[in-house]
Structure formats: C-alpha cells, structure tokens
C-alpha cells in the first residue's frame, strides 16, 4: 500500500508542478468537455486543499462520459483517493458517489 501511495503522489506532483492554476481554470471553463483540462484542475484543487471540488468535478465527468474516457477519469479519481488518503471522510463520500455514477 505504501508503494502505491508514493507512486500516486509522484504522478500527481509531476502533473501539477509546472501548472498555472489560472490558465488551467480558464481552459477548463472554456472547454468543459476537455477531459485533460478538467483532470488538471482537479489535480490542482487537491493541491489547494479543495478536495471536495476535485472529486465533484471528476465524478460529474464520470456521469457524462462512457468507455475509455470514463475509465481514464475513474482511474484518476482512484489515484487521487490514494493521494488524499483512503481513510479521509471526503474520500469515503466520493467513493460512494463514484459507485453511484458508475452504476
């Protein structure tokens, strides 16, 4: 488990280290169907402590996508759950919401 946590954190940090929050938010607002733009904002929201916002953004995307796109978003969510900590109450709530969105 510890290795998975570290790997998730390294991936997340590498995605966010050079990102510009304002530019990322503008891109996500301009292109609501751009999955990469939405996932970057979710990553940045995690860094800023806006965990619920990040999870809500990605769960909404899960609801509106199918196939490979949906799987990509689900995988990112699971990774972010690991980054935040699987015992965190926000993660537990988001896991239930994700399960509902998937089925």
pLDDT digits (tens, 9 = 90+) for 38-89: 999 999 999 989 999 999 999 999 999 999 999 999 999 999 999 998 889 9
pLDDT band at 2 (very low <50, low <70, confident <90, very high): confident
Give the span between the Cα atoms of 39 and 46, in whole angstroms: 11
pLDDT value at residue 1: 65
- CB-facing half-sphere around the CA of 62: CA atoms within 13 A: 23
Element (H, E) at 72: helix 67-84
Question: Residue 34 corresponds to which tokens in the numbers above?
Answer: 């751009």
Say whether pTM exceeds 0.75.
yes
Pick from 87, 16, 22: nearest CA to 46: 16
Give the span between the Cα atoms of 18 and 60, in whole angstroms: 26
In degrees and rounded to multiples of 5, residue 85 shows phi and psi of: 120, 120
Q: Which residue has the tokens 């304002």?
A: 22
């Amino acid at each position: 488990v510890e290795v998975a946590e570290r790997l998730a954190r390294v991936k997340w940090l590498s995605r966010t280290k050079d990102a510009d929050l304002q530019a990322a938010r503008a891109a996500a607002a301009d292109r609501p169907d751009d999955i990469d733009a939405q996932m970057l904002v979710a990553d940045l929201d995690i860094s800023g402590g806006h965990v619920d916002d990040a999870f809500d953004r990605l769960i909404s995307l899960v609801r509106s996508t199918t196939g490979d796109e949906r799987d990509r978003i689900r995988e990112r969510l699971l990774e972010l759950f690991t980054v935040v900590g699987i015992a965190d109450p926000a993660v537990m709530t988001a896991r239930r919401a994700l399960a509902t969105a998937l089925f």
